């Protein structure tokens, strides 16, 4: 089983994933919408492409379940992701002088990002789920996802501080440093871990992929949790592509300031995750269901606050409100991830990767769908409503409503998972449940 040092090393891979992805979903998105004056739906479609390609996550999980050697998928996927991230930055730069060529480069780049995240992220979580002591899974999920959020927050804040005054050459240098560094750190972090742990034996005659998927989908808990993941993650990602343009258009933020805003938001996510990790896993305060619901309701309230600040304008304190949104997002996310890690090991053995892939695919589809709907809605409402603040605010309020619906669904789905877990395992509940 994985020790704490190995779990932290695997968390470094999550940190690298977050560091690259945040550049494509925040900085590059803002540059397209504000500096290049392109409709928000364009970066929305590109980001939806990379999330849509992650529908292959179940296939990656299935491959790691039946073929082993997850390390090669983790490192190889990170290399593909890095190539996609650097190409995406070049595509934005190219759009300034040759829009069609830049768009074609961007399409290829975001496709590579989707493949890289799917291969590396799913294989990493599958290895973590199979090689971690069940009593440590909730804590392991908290640690690795905290490190991912730390990577997002630190990268966004650091890049934001170096990006002003903005220039295309500076953007490419910064992205190159981040992507190459991520590949090197991932290789060092994960090397040798898989060879030193004992994982369940691989089936000698594995089921075909679709048969394995049907087997997992037949599990009621896995199916219900998939629906919950899709709904809640649609709410979670609706503001991802419009928050920085909102800051630029309504609050007059510079590119560096808006990139730092993303860092502040993810700093709040980090704090929310720490709170749940300490209270639920360390102090045994509250159930996963309670933390998920509190996070959803708090996120809805923070979105309503951000909407109200838009009516005040540049003088309003946007950054604290965004940090508050991140804080409640973090509470919701880490509790949901803890439930996911526990459920991955239930049901038929040797299907952890397939279950993680299924939920990862649901999250990816929701992220792409939510981001695209949010961006397209903002574009449409900007043509109808009297000002940008009202247009973006309407999208934020709809997202808040989705969070409230997710809280209601969590009351049923996450609670049922907790009630049925003990009789199946015959043991005590894991700390944090």
pLDDT in tens, 353-376: 667 667 777 887 888 888 889 989
Q: What is the mean pLDDT of the chain?
A: 81
What does the pLDDT read at residue 352?
Answer: 60
Contact 256, 164 (CB under 8 A): yes
Mean pLDDT of 364-389: 88
- The secondary structure of residue 386, as a DSSP letter, is S
Q: At a CB cut-off of 8 Å and minimum separation 6, what does 65 contact?
A: 126, 202, 206, 212, 350, 351, 352, 353, 354
What is the widest separation between alpha-carbon atoms in the chain? Answer: 65
Higher pLDDT, 420 or 323: 323
d(CA 433, CA 422): 11
What does the pLDDT read at residue 191?
Answer: 87
- Under the banding of pLDDT at 50, 70 and 90, the label for residue 61 is low
d(CA 120, CA 78): 6
Could you count the other beta carbons within 10 Å of the beta carbon of residue 208? 10
- In the chain, the percentage of residues whose pLDDT exceeds 90 is 31
d(CA 7, CA 132): 8
Contact 106, 92 (CB under 8 A): yes
- The secondary structure of residue 316, as a DSSP letter, is S
72: left (phi over 0), alpha (psi -120 to 50) or beta: alpha
Mean pLDDT of 408-420: 64
Q: Of 168-172, 287-291, 406-410, which one has max mean pLDDT?
A: 168-172
Nearest to 199 by CA among 57, 345, 343, 341: 345
d(CA 118, CA 368): 14
The pair of three-digit structure tokens given for residue 356, joined into one six-digit string: 């993680």
Could you give all domains of the chain from N- to C-terminal order, each with its CATH number?
4-198+206-422 (1.20.1250.20)
Higher pLDDT, 195 or 159: 159
What does the pLDDT read at residue 288?
Answer: 78
φ/ψ of residue 413, rounded to 5: -70, -55
**Is the pLDDT reported for residue 225 higher than 90?**
no
Contact 304, 246 (CB under 8 A): no
What does the pLDDT read at residue 205?
Answer: 44
The pair of three-digit structure tokens given for residue 412, joined into one six-digit string: 């049923």
**Is the pLDDT reported for residue 8 higher than 50?**
yes
d(CA 231, CA 406): 6
Higher pLDDT, 335 or 169: 169
Unique residue bearing structure tokens 């999550």:
14
| Size (the chain), residues | 433
Q: For 286-330, what is each residue's pLDDT tens digit?
A: 777 888 899 999 999 999 999 999 888 788 899 999 999 999 998
d(CA 2, CA 10): 10
3-state secondary structure 61-116: HHHHHHHCCHHHHHHHHHHHHHHHHHHHHHHHHHHCCCHHHHHHHHHHHHHHHHHH
d(CA 126, CA 198): 13
The three-point CA angle 237-241-247 to 5° equals: 120
The pair of three-digit structure tokens given for residue 122, joined into one six-digit string: 């799913």
The pair of three-digit structure tokens given for residue 252, joined into one six-digit string: 């007059």
Q: At a CB cut-off of 8 Å and minimum separation 6, what does 370 contact?
A: 233, 234, 235, 236, 237, 238, 240
Higher pLDDT, 371 or 92: 92
């Amino acid at each position: 089983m994985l020790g704490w040092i190995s779990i932290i090393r695997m968390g470094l891979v999550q940190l690298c994933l977050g560091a690259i992805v945040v550049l494509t979903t925040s900085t590059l998105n803002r540059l397209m919408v504000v500096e290049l004056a392109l409709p928000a739906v364009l970066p929305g479609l590109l980001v939806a492409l990379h999330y849509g390609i992650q529908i292959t996550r179940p296939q990656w999980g299935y491959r790691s379940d039946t073929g082993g050697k997850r390390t090669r998928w983790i490192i190889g996927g990170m290399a593909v992701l890095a190539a996609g991230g650097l190409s995406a930055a070049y595509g934005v730069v190219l759009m300034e002088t040759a829009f069609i060529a830049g768009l074609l480069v961007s399409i290829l780049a975001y496709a590579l990002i989707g493949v890289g995240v799917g291969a590396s992220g799913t294989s990493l979580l599958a290895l973590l789920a199979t090689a971690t002591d069940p009593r440590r899974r909730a804590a392991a999920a908290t640690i690795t996802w905290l490190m991912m959020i730390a990577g997002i927050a630190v990268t966004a804040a650091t890049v934001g501080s170096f990006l002003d005054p903005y220039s295309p050459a500076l953007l490419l240098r910064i992205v190159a440093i981040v992507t190459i560094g991520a590949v090197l750190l991932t290789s060092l972090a994960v090397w040798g871990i898989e060879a030193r742990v004992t994982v369940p034996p691989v089936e000698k005659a594995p089921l075909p992929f679709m048969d394995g998927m049907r087997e997992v989908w037949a599990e009621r808990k896995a199916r219900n949790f998939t629906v919950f993941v899709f709904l809640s993650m649609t709410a979670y990602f609706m503001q991802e592509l419009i928050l920085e343009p909102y800051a630029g258009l309504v609050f007059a933020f510079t590119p560096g300031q808006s990139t730092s805003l993303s860092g502040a938001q993810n700093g709040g996510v980090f704090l929310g995750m720490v709170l749940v990790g300490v209270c639920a896993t360390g102090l045994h305060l509250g159930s996963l269901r309670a933390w998920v619901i509190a996070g959803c309701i708090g996120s809805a309230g923070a979105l309503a606050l951000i909407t109200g600040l838009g009516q005040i304008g540049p003088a309003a304190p946007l950054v604290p409100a965004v940090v508050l949104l991140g804080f409640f997002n973090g509470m919701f996310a880490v509790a949901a991830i803890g439930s996911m890690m526990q459920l991955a090991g239930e049901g038929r053995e040797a299907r952890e990767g397939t279950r993680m892939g299924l939920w990862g695919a649901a999250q990816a589809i929701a992220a792409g769908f939510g981001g695209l709907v949010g961006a397209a809605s903002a574009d449409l409402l900007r043509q109808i409503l009297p000002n940008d603040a009202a247009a973006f605010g309407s999208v934020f309020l709809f997202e808040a409503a989705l969070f409230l619906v997710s809280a209601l669904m969590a009351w049923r789905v996450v609670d049922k998972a907790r009630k049925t877990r003990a009789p199946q395992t015959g043991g005590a509940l894991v700390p944090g449940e």
